[in-house]
Amino acid sequence: MSYHWIKIFETEKSFENYIQLNTFILFELKGEKICITRTEKGFYAVQDKCPHNGASLSKGFCSKNNEIVCPLHRYSFDLESGKATSGGAYTLNTYPINVKNDGVYIGIKAKWWEM
Ligand code: FES
């Protein structure tokens, strides 16, 4: 799998300071809306658009089971795998987050025509 790695923060510290526990940041990167959140298990990035009916997941909340819960109909998704844990057989796109010495990067899968 080939990724475009896009720097979203200059340092790990600034990333941690910016995103508090169970809060969200919405980024639009390479035409994709991405919701980044932080739970006690770590940082996660998933597609912002709920696959059920299009609500913005960054307006939802995190559960204590490490899920993101949609604000509209309350379907929930595992933040690690992106798989729905309630509501239907949906799966969110997930994005890797890579913390390096020179910044925090998010990986966007390259499209087939970009490889
Ligand atoms: S729009 Fe998200 S659960 Fe319906």
Read off the pLDDT of residues 58-96 as tens digits, 9 standing for 90 and up.
999 999 999 999 999 999 999 999 999 999 899 999 999
Q: What distance in angstroms lies between residue 64's CA and the mean position of ligand 1's atoms?
A: 19
Query: pLDDT tens, 5-39?
Result: 999 999 999 999 999 999 999 999 989 999 999 99
- Domain ranges for the chain, please list them: 3-114
* Vertex 69: Cα angle to 19 and 17 (nearest 5): 5
Q: Taking the complete model, does pTM exceed 0.85, yes or no? A: yes
94 in Cβ contact with 81 (< 8 Å): yes
71 lines ligand 1 (CB under 6 A): no
| Dist. CA 89 → ligand 1 center (Å) | 12
| Sign of the C-alpha dihedral computed for residues 76, 23, 16 and 33 taken in this order | positive
* Domain range 3-114, CATH architecture: 3-layer Sandwich (2.102)
Q: Could you tell me if the CB of 73 is within 6 A of ligand 1?
A: yes
Cα distances (Å, whole numbers) of residue 48 to 11, 14, 58: 24, 22, 6
Closest ligand 1 atom to 71 CA: 2
